[in-house]
Chains A and B, each alone.
Chain A
Amino acid sequence: MAYVAARGGERAIEQAERLYREPLGEIDAKRVAGIRQSLPWLLDRVMGEASLYDPDMAALALAQAGGDLYEAVLLLRAWRSTQPRLGIATPVTQETLFTHRRISAAFKDIPGGQILGPTLDHAHRLLATSVLQGESLAPVPVEPASQPAPARQPSLAAWQRVEGLVANVLRAEVAPEDIPDITRQPLLFPATRAHALQSLARADTGGVLALGYAAMRGYGNAHPTVNELRLAEAEVMVRHPSGISFSAGRVRVSQAEVTTKGKGGQLDLGFAATFGWNEVKVIAAATLDLNAAAAPKGSPVEEEFVLYHTEPVEASGFCIHFKLPHYVTFQSALDALRDAKAEVWEEADSQTETVPA
């Protein structure tokens, strides 16, 4: 079978995978636990993009992929996609969130207060090189405030609504099982509100940042002010078949609401929320949401453009697929090219002949 020897096929792909996995060494529960403990913000990012909240599985995916984010997200999505849906949780409202951090850039102070919570925003980004010399970096203990911040906070938009600053959008009551689900239905345009927000929730952090940043720099039509940014824990309330409602646990969530002066004399709001604590993503995504309404067709902030191009699994997969052989397609193009060239020469020849002496 000399015909196929040059391509290698099955043995080649097996050995190539081994080359990748060998340096990663043995993966055990200890490594997974270590990743979970030391990289919670990375887990949050991965869980958000995978739209699967399970820190252990996210840590396992990162371990298995050796830290390749897109691979880790694909591992989790491929696991998630075939799992049965056992129940539908009660929708979470802002007021019920167990809030760790909540800030508004729109006002100096807001009802409920500005709560900084955990952040590196004001830290000096100095690399602790001494760790490499053998010293350890122990966190300084937090000194609790004399009065704890209230765990549950009203939404700023609720106050703005009362003041007549934002439109009072009537919430359509939808039965939980009728809420459109992006993981079970194709995304079509114009997208339903649920599909748009779900797509943003599972969007690529880097992708929404790139497009959101473009919008912020001036390629969008609306300049955002952070109305409210929250890092919180949400109670997942589900109903047991026997009728009892119970908490299945808490998940970390982030949400951002950005605002701009709207055309109708009120404030327009852009919103995004995701699993995990990921401020860059929700601010960028909320900015894109804010811009989508008035975006012209084909603009980089239009809903269809944004949602198609920030899907991490689709975008990364298509990008790496260009490594696959394309020689049939190329051969077909080459044939047209050569034939066109030959025809041009033929024509040139025949024209030379007909030139009168």
Chain B
Amino acid sequence: MSLHDLTRPWAAFSYGFLDAEAKREMRRKLIKAIAVPGCQMPYASREVPIARGWGTGGLQVTLTLVNPTSVIKVIDQGADDSVNAASIRRFLTRVSGARETWDTTEASLIQSRHRVPEERLRADQVLVLQVPNPEPLRPVQPNMSIARQMHADADYARLWLVLYEQIVRAGRIMQGAAYPSMVNGRHVMTPSPIPRWDVPKLNMAQHLTILSAGREKRLYAVPPFTSVVPLAFSDVPYKVEDHAALTCARSGLSGYFMNEIPQAAGGSAYETSDSNLGIKAIRRAGGETVEIAPTWYQGGEFRP
């Protein structure tokens, strides 16, 4: 037996691009993140062949979890064919040999920027959210070392104060996307800039959600059946975007989160933000047999 027989032939890159050492660190940090829901875990965050801020955090998680039997879906702002989603998907399939899909129900691994699909995710699916800024305290405390201490002390008073001030000034909570939410009653996290519409989908969900910020080198997780409660006052309830009554001009779907398309003649048209759900509805209307999984929202109402 020679050394040559024991080692694999040299290759420029490892399977799934990341080397074994990098993946081992990722796995350890992922387990820690799952063990302490919503708590940000620092990780080395290797450089990957796409620019920082373009999904490198999500990509490192997906590259760690992917295997040749995975089925990968990548979406950006809800769309599979958005240019950056296409780029990430092409890279993932190139280095892993995994199959790609646009269909939420078919995917085992979903990497997403700023949306949770409308179709309910199952226990055998993992959602990886790309995170630009992992720190919910950033608006009140830009210094990361102080913010870290505040999390340790569960000192979220200033976040509550900001929400209260918004009500006083504007008559309502003005936080748009990335709504700060309490995870498992202990850590406040930013759910990444998903719309408020999507936050309830993470609460007591069947699937595992991993949130990863590559540039900021932090990852955190919402394990299955974990509470995610948006910060709100008992007399001023949490409010999702007022999209329940909007109808998609392309697919005829209504009761889902929509993209607003300004019209030259004035006013706006709407299209379903979850583009593949829209495509499925169009196909179904065209007479094809298309399976659409149950959705979290029905008739514009969230059904837990």
**Residue positions of A touching B, CB distance < 8 A:** 1-4, 7-10, 12-13, 74, 77-78, 80-84, 183-190, 297-298, 304, 308, 313-314, 316-321, 324-329, 331-340, 343-344, 347
Contact B48 A3 (CB under 8 A): no
Q: What residue of chain A has the Cβ atom nearest to residue B145's Cβ? A: A189
- Given contacts A10-B81, A317-B53, A336-B175, 16 further A-B pairs with CB under 8 A are A3-B278, A3-B279, A3-B282, A13-B87, A82-B17, A82-B46, A183-B44, A304-B145, A314-B53, A321-B51, A325-B77, A328-B273, A332-B195, A334-B176, A334-B260, A340-B172
Within 8 A of A (CB), among B234-260: 239, 241-243, 250-251, 257-260
Tell me the bound Cα distance from A325 to B77 in angstroms.
7
On whether A297 and B171 interact (CB within 8 A), knowing A318-B215, A329-B177, the answer reads: no
Q: Given A13-B87, A82-B46, A325-B76, A187–B241 Cβ distance below 8 Å?
A: no
**Does B170 count as interface, using CB distance less than 8 angstroms?**
yes
* CB of B224 within 8 Å of the partner chain: no
CA distance A216 to B82 in the complex (A): 45
- A4, A187, A343: which contacts B171 (Cβ < 8 A)? A343
Complex: A313 Cα to B48 Cα, angstroms: 11
Closest residue of chain A to B46, judged by CB? A81
Q: Chain B nearest CB: distance from A242 CB in Å?
A: 15
Chain B residues within an 8 Å CB radius of A326? 77, 114, 193
CA–CA, A317 and B48, complex, Å: 12
From the candidates B21, B86, B114, B194, name the one contacting A9 in the complex (CB within 8 A): B86
**How many A-B contacts if CB must be within 8 Å?**
177
| Partner of A13 from B48, B49, B86 at Cβ < 8 Å | B86
**A-B pairs with the 10 shortest C-beta distances?**
A317-B52, A321-B53, A333-B176, A9-B81, A332-B176, A186-B42, A317-B51, A318-B53, A77-B47, A81-B46
Interface code B193-210, partner A: CB below 8 Å = 1, 0 otherwise? Answer: 111110000000000000
Q: Which residues of B contact A13 (CB under 8 A)?
A: 83, 86-87
Provide a sorted-by-A list of 6 A–B residue pairs whose CB atoms are within 8 angstroms: A2-B282, A3-B278, A7-B82, A82-B14, A184-B44, A321-B52
The answer to whether B78 touches A328 (Cβ under 8 A) is yes
Please judge, given known A-B contacts A3-B251, A9-B82, A328-B114, whether A78 and B176 are in contact too, CB under 8 Å.
no
Q: Is the CB of B44 within 8 A of A328?
A: no
Whether A1 and B279, one on each chain, are in contact in the complex, defined by CB atoms closer than 8 angstroms, is: yes
- Contact flag A297-B146 (CB < 8 Å), given A9-B81, A320-B51: yes
* A9 contact set on B, CB distance < 8 A: 80-83, 85-86
Question: At the interface, yes or no: B108 with Cβ under 8 Å from chain A?
Answer: no
Residue contact B82 to A339, C-beta cutoff 8 Å: no
Task: Point out the residues of chain B lying under 8 angstroms from A324, CB to CB.
Answer: 54, 76, 84, 113
**In the complex, which residues of chain B have a beta carbon less than 8 angstroms from the beta carbon of A74?**
47, 51-52
Q: Which residue of A lies closest to B174 (CB)?
A: A336
User: Is B296 in the interface zone, CB < 8 Å from A?
Assistant: no
User: What separation, in Å, do the CA atoms of A320 and B82 have in the docked complex?
Assistant: 16
A328–B132 CB distance below 8 A: no
Tell whether B151 is near chain A: CB-to-CB under 8 Å. no
* In the complex, B98 has a CB within 8 A of chain A: no
Interface residues of B in 6-47 (CB under 8 A from A): 13-14, 17-19, 21-22, 25, 42-47
Let me know if B143 is at the binding interface, CB within 8 A: yes
- Indicate which residue in A2, A184, A189 contacts B144 across the interface (CB closer than 8 Å): A189
On chain A, the residues within 8 Å of B18 by CB distance are 82
B275 at the interface (CB under 8 A from A): yes
Q: Does any Cβ of A come within 8 Å of B73's Cβ?
A: no
- A81 contacts B47, CB within 8 Å? yes
Q: Looking across the interface, which residue of chain B has its beta carbon closest to that of A320?
A: B51
Q: Is B115 an interface residue (CB 8 A)?
A: yes
Contact check, A297 vs B51: say whether CB atoms are below 8 A apart. no
The complex places the Cα of A329 from the Cα of B192 at a distance, in Å, of 10
Compute how far the CA of A231 lies from the CA of B142 in the bound complex, rounded to whole angstroms: 37
Expressed in whole angstroms, the minimum distance between the Cβ of A224 and any Cβ of chain B is: 25
Considering only CB atoms, which chain B residue lies closest to A308 in the complex?
A: B144
Judging by beta carbons under 8 Å apart, are B196 and A332 in contact? yes
Indicate if B79 sits at the interface (CB-CB under 8 A): yes
Bound form: Cα–Cα A324–B54 in Å:
8
**What separation, in Å, do the CA atoms of A347 and B47 have in the docked complex?**
52
Q: Which single residue of chain A is at the shortest CB-CB distance from B13?
A: A82
Given A78-B48, A328-B273, A336-B172, answer yes or no on A10-B114 (Cβ-Cβ < 8 Å).
no
Contact of B52 with A314 in the complex, beta carbons under 8 Å: yes
The interface bits of chain B over 56-77 (1 if a CB of A lies within 8 angstroms of the residue's CB, else 0) are: 1000000000000000000011
B99 within 8 A of A: no
Chain A residues contacting B182 (CB-CB under 8 Å) are none
Contacts of B21 in A (CB 8 A): 84, 184
Inside 8 A of A7's CB, which chain B residues have their CB?
A: 79, 81-83
Q: B91 CB to closest chain A CB, in angstroms?
A: 11
